[in-house]
Amino acid sequence: MRILGKFLQIRNGFVISSKCIGTTATMAKSKFDYVKEFELDDKCLPNCWIVVRIDGRNFSAFTEKHDFAKPNDPGALELMNRAAITVMEEFREIIIGFGQSDEYSFVFRKDTTLFNRRASKLMSNVNSLFSSSYVYYWPCFFKKPLQYPPAFDARVVLYPTDKNLRDYLAWRQADLHINNLYNTCFWNLVLKKNMKRQEAEEKLSGTLAAHKNELLFQEFKINYNNEPALFRKGTTLIRKLVPNEMGRLKPTVVPLTDDIIADRFWKENPEVIGMKSLGTYQPPLKAPLVPGGFNPTAVNAVIPPMSMRPMLPTNIIPPHTMINSALPKKTIESNHQDANRELNRNGDISGHK
C-alpha cells in the first residue's frame, strides 16, 4: 500500500481515513464506519423547484458599522448582485435569482441532479460561494475596509408547482415593497425632518400604503414611483443571450429591475419557468438614471465605476460591458438560433434545454 494521505492511519489492519488517495490495497471497513449511518438523507423531493435563500446575519448592525446609506445603499445592493452573479455563473442549474436588502433567493431547475439533490450540499455550496464573493468583491464597492467578517444564514425550500414558485418570488418582491415604502418614509422623517426614530415610528404606525405615498409627496415632494427601480423592485437575475465584442451571442446572467409579480415578466421571459432555450437580451430603450450616474436598469449596473475598483484584477470584472451596445437587430436574430443550437450541443447552460 502506498501511503499518500497525510492523516492515513492503520490500526488493527484497518484503514481509517477516507481522505487518502492512491491506495492499491482494497479498502477495508473500520469499526468506526457505522457512524456514517447517523447522516440523514436530505435529498430534495423530485420534480420540485429548489429554492436556496440566503440572508445577512444581523445586518442591522453590520450596515450601521459600515456606514451604509439609508435606507438603500446602491453600492451594497450592487455588491449583493455581484456575489449572486458569481453564484449563478458557477451553478448553471440555477434558473433565476432574486435579491433585495440583505437577502438573495436562488432557484434550481426542478429536474436538477446537482449534488444528487442533497439539500445540505446545495445550500452550503451556494451560501459559501456567495459569502466568499461578498468579501472578495467588497473593495470594488466600498472604500471603507470591512470591519469584521459578515455572515449569511441559508435555508432550502421546495415548491412543487410553477404557481407556488411564482408566488414565492412575488412574496419576496411584495415584502421588499412594503419594507421599502416604510423605510423611505421613516428615513426621510428622521434625516430631513430631524424626527427622533421613535417619533417617526409613531407617525407611521398603522398607516396604509396610500397614506405613506401621500406623506412622501406632501412633505418631501417625492413621488415614490419615481424612486430607483433597484430600490422598489429589487434585482432579478436571469440568463439571456447577449452579444459579445465579436457580435456572438453568449449566455450571460443579466440583472433586471423588473416587476416579477405581474404576468408580463413571465410572458416576456417564458424560458425561465419553461426551462426552454434562452431568449436574446433586449436592452431597455431608455434607462432611467439615478443621481451619481448609477443606472439600475442597465445590465452593467453591477460593474462599479472605475474609481471604485482600483484593487480589482481585470479578470474579475464581469463581462457585461457589451450588453447595452445594441447590435443591428438582424445580426442578433441570425445569431440567436446558432447560439441556442450551440447551447444544446455543448450543454453550455445546463439550466436550459
List of residues contacting Mg ion (CB under 5 A): 55-56, 59, 102
Q: What single DSSP character describes residue 202? A: H
Which class for 205: exposed (0-12), middle (13-18), buried (19 or more C-beta within 10 A)? exposed
Cβ nearer to Mg ion, comparing 55 with 259: 55
Calculate helix-pair angle for 162-192, 209-220, nearest 10 degrees.
Answer: 30
Report the C-alpha gap between 128 and 134 in whole angstroms.
Answer: 10
For every residue of 155-200, DSSP letters joined together read EEEEE-SHHHHHHHHHHHHHHHHHHHHHHHHHHHHHHHS---HHHH
What is the length of the chain? Answer: 353
Which partner, ligand GTP, Mg ion, none, binds residue 228 by CB below 5 to 8 Å per kind? none
Q: In this structure, what C-alpha cell is assigned to residue 124?
A: 452550503
Span from 64-72, 190-198, 201-209, 275-283 in contact with ligand GTP (CB under 6 A): 64-72
Cβ nearer to Mg ion, comparing 52 with 278: 52
* Cβ pair 340, 277 in contact under 8 A: yes
Report the C-alpha gap between 251 and 197 in whole angstroms.
Answer: 46
- Name which of 146, 215, 225 is nearest 187 in CA terms: 215
Cβ nearer to ligand GTP, comparing 101 with 297: 101
Which partner, ligand GTP, Mg ion, none, binds residue 28 by CB below 5 to 8 Å per kind? none
Residue 72 contacts ligand GTP per CB under 6 A? yes
Cβ nearer to ligand GTP, comparing 71 with 318: 71
Which partner, Mg ion, ligand GTP, none, binds residue 96 by CB below 5 to 8 Å per kind? none
Q: In this structure, what C-alpha cell is assigned to residue 23?
A: 491506495
Q: How far is the CB of 352 from ligand GTP (least distance, A)?
A: 31
Residue with cell 412543487: 160
Which partner, ligand GTP, Mg ion, none, binds residue 70 by CB below 5 to 8 Å per kind? ligand GTP
Residue 57 contacts ligand GTP per CB under 6 A? yes
Residue 56 contacts ligand GTP per CB under 6 A? yes
For every residue of 91-118, DSSP letters joined together read -TTEEEEEEETTEEEEEE-TT--GGGGB
CA dist 260 to 73, 112, 165, 177, 270, Å? Answer: 22, 23, 11, 12, 12
Which residues inside 82-121 make contact with ligand GTP, applying CB under 6 A?
101-102
User: Parallel, antiparallel, or unpaired for β 103-108 and 235-243?
Assistant: unpaired
- Name which of 151, 163, 153, 320 is nearest 237 in CA terms: 320
Which partner, ligand GTP, Mg ion, none, binds residue 60 by CB below 5 to 8 Å per kind? ligand GTP
Span from 70-78, 88-96, 210-218, 327-335 in contact with ligand GTP (CB under 6 A): 70-78
Span from 54-62, 141-149, 200-208, 322-330 in contact with ligand GTP (CB under 6 A): 54-62
User: Parallel, antiparallel, or unpaired for β 14-15 and 94-100?
Assistant: unpaired
User: Parallel, antiparallel, or unpaired for β 103-108 and 249-256?
Assistant: unpaired
Cβ nearer to Mg ion, comparing 56 with 296: 56
Cβ nearer to Mg ion, comparing 59 with 159: 59
Interface residue with ligand GTP, options 55, 89, 259, 348 (CB under 6 A) = 55
Span from 62-70, 155-163, 192-200, 245-253 in contact with ligand GTP (CB under 6 A): 62-70
Q: How far is the CB of 131 from ligand GTP (least distance, A)?
A: 14
Residue 68 contacts ligand GTP per CB under 6 A? yes
Residue 150 contacts ligand GTP per CB under 6 A? no
Interface residue with ligand GTP, options 50, 51, 76, 242 (CB under 6 A) = 76
Interface residue with ligand GTP, options 30, 44, 53, 63 (CB under 6 A) = 63
Contact residues: ligand GTP, CB under 6 A: 55-60, 63, 68-73, 76, 101-102
